[in-house]
Structure 1
Amino acid sequence: MAEPPYGVIWNRLRRGKVVPFLGAGASMAARAPDTTWDPANPASLPSGAELSRLLADETRFPFSRPAETDDLATVSSYYCDMNGRRVLRERLRELLNGDYPCGELHRFLASLEVPLVFVVTNYDSLLEKAFIAANKPYDLVIHPADRRDYANAVLWWPHGAAEPQFREPNRLEQDIDLADTTVIYKMHGSVCSDSARWDNFVITEDDYVDFLSRMTTHTAVPSLFSSDFREKSFLFLGYGLKDWNLRVVLKNLGRDQASREDGTADDEELPRSWAIQRNPSEFERRLWESRGVSIFDVGIDEFVTKLRQQAEGGRS
């Protein structure tokens, strides 16, 4: 079985030519293997399926098959309809804002010296905690799903700011210089450890519809980021492609990456991207490859260990 091209990945990463994307598996990598999540006394974050089942049980979700109770968007929609958006948001904060440990992946990414844009679709703040622990500066940008009055804006925390500023997505280039600023972009919202006031979650079916509709108007991903993506490789960590919402996002990101000022695209000039995913299905392999992404069946911890060895000049 082919291994990831660690040397190539590290060389591009250290030169700021990679955009790391962190999915659900990236957060689960911080969790001890073979552990059971206990919502009454959690020692780690829940998986998406575990969170969905808990919400389904609490709101007496009227279906019982795993395909239904494990669907977080559907269950969250029902929870919200039955109990209100505020109750859902408060419950998510209770479950996601604990003092959970960062994983080796988060610590490694926070140790990098080059400014990068990190795209995170998880709701937790593990990456931010790793940067704080490493005393590394970063700007935070969050999609404000719960602020309908700012539906076409993003929340922007300059490094060290206690409160966010609202910005039109395509005007962030006036505020952020990616040449010397690391940015954590929470594409699907986030629990905010400092204040519940700014918690935002793209989690219900309606949230995803709203977010994806913004993709068509180029306001979901700020142009500052999509422009930066065009000459860079994507490094997908902890993603699966069974979720159609993610496939739509990737399709649009790929279109932005391939675009040129003259409206043409040269496939030979596009940098290769990589996905690190344990036990991908044949369906997922084909989807990744069709999007110009090489997929590798490697655990995240093993990947980080070997990438760190590469950074230190050694080989496994």
Structure 2
Amino acid sequence: MECTTWSEKDWQTLLHTIRQKNCLLMLGPDAALESDNDRARPLTEVLAQELSGKLRAEVQSQIDCANLAQVTQYYRLEAGRNDLEAEVDAFYEQRREFSSELHEHLAALPFYFIITSTPDRMLFNALQKARKAPMMAYYHFRGENPEMVRMGTEESPLIFQLYGSLEQPASLVLTENNLLDFLAAVIAKDPPLPHNVLSELRDRNKSLLFLGFGFKHWYLRILLHVLQGRDKDSRSFALEQCVPGNVDEFQRTILFFRMSDYKITGSG
């Protein structure tokens, strides 16, 4: 089974939307990678396996030790939320200066608004390296949120951390229960997202570029429904990495994007 590719016209359309500043960047969990024994692995997977190693053996044998939400669910049950937050904070603090070639390429593009689903600083660091002045804001799924945030510019892009920030550990969406509570909060608008964040996402003339959202991240379907809406005039795009040995998941991801109701062109 071969990886799907875009036509030249697809690439031209995407590049045009980016240049015209009509494209919002959506970074999923699989966009932040770390080299491990000559293999690139998502930071979320590395963190999950580190935490799973601290669980009881009988628990480890019953869960997917690469699934961060599942691992943190059991870690919290065994050690508590405070201990979990401390572990997560220490993990990302060790990688505070990290970036990647992908993030540096993205930083060179004129994105003014980026939504991320992980609390790392990889894009922030790349933007600073590109001599830009990035700003950061976040959503607190069980706390107070501002009605508006300061929207970014090409020179000073806004990175909006949808799943919370290390600055406010209680805001982090970590466990499976957190994920369900987060989705319920966003759908019920309790608490609501900042008005201008939601209006940007629902702007019918704006396209979204999804990077790093694998098929296993099933909650993307709900987020598409809540955040984007179906009445866009412009199509959106999804780029996924086709990993050897995991082509089936890649194909399922691309099929999901292509068969959705949201005018999304998927490729790898």
Q: Which amino acid aligns with 1:142?
A: Y
Deviation of the 1:22 alpha carbon: 0.9
Q: In the alignment, which residue of structure 1 is the partner of 2:196?
A: 224
Note the alpha carbon deviations across 1:148-196, whole angstroms, 9 max, x for none.
Answer: xxx3423xxxxxxxxxxxx2xxx20xx525567621001112335xxxx
**Separation of aligned partners in 1, 2:64 and 2:56:** 13
Query: Partner residue of 1:83?
Result: 79
8 Å CA contact 2:165, 2:172 repeated in 1: yes
Match of 1:24 in 2: 29
Following the alignment from structure 2 to structure 1, what is the Cα–Cα distance between the partners of residues 153 and 42? 35
Q: TM-score, normalised by structure 2?
A: 0.81
Deviations 1:111-150 (A, max 9, x none): 33x45210100121111111222331232111235xxxxx
User: Is residue 153 of structure 1 aligned with residue 144 of structure 2?
Assistant: yes
Task: State the distance in 1 between where 2:66 and 2:39 align.
Answer: 16
Question: Does the alignment pair 1:287 with 2:250?
Answer: no
Tell me if 1:209 matches 2:180. Answer: yes
Q: 1:178 to 1:27 in 2, by over 3 A?
A: closer
Letter in 2 for 1:2: T
Q: Taking structure 1 as reference, are residues 211 and 3 closer, same or farther at Cα in structure 2, changes over 3 Å only?
A: same
1:185 partner letter: F
Q: Is residue 68–residue 74 contact of structure 1 (8 Å, CA) maintained in 2?
A: yes
Identity rate of aligned residues, in percent? 22
Specify every segment of 5 or more residues in structure 1 that has no aligned partner in the other structure, as ranges.
38-44, 146-150, 155-166, 259-264, 298-316
What are the residue-to-residue correspondences of 1:261-276 with 2, within 5 Å?
265=231, 270-276=233-239
Q: Is the 8 A contact 1:63 1:69 kept in 2?
A: no
SS of the equivalent of 2:59 reads: coil
- CA 1:220–1:122: 2 relative to 1, 3 Å: farther
Partner amino acid for 2:159? I
Identify which range, 19-28 or 219-228, moves more after superposition: 219-228
Cα distance in 1 between the residues matched to 2:136 and 2:174: 20
Cα deviation digits, residues 35-64 of structure 1 (max 9, x gap)? 269xxxxxxx85333322221220226334
Assess if the C-alpha contact under 8 Å between 2:85 and 2:169 holds in 1. no
Superposition map of 1:28-47 within 5 A: 28=33, 31-32=34-35, 35=38, 47=43
1:125·1:190 contact (CA, 8 Å) conserved in 2?
no
Letter in 1 for 2:195: S
Which residue number corresponds to residue 157 of structure 2?
182
Structure 2 residue corresponding to 1:127, chosen from 123, 126, 130: 123
Q: 1:134 to 1:119 in 2, by over 3 A?
A: same
Distance 1:33 1:18, change over 3 A: farther
Distance 2:215 2:105 in 1: 25
Question: When the two structures are aligned, how many residues end up with a matched partner?
Answer: 250
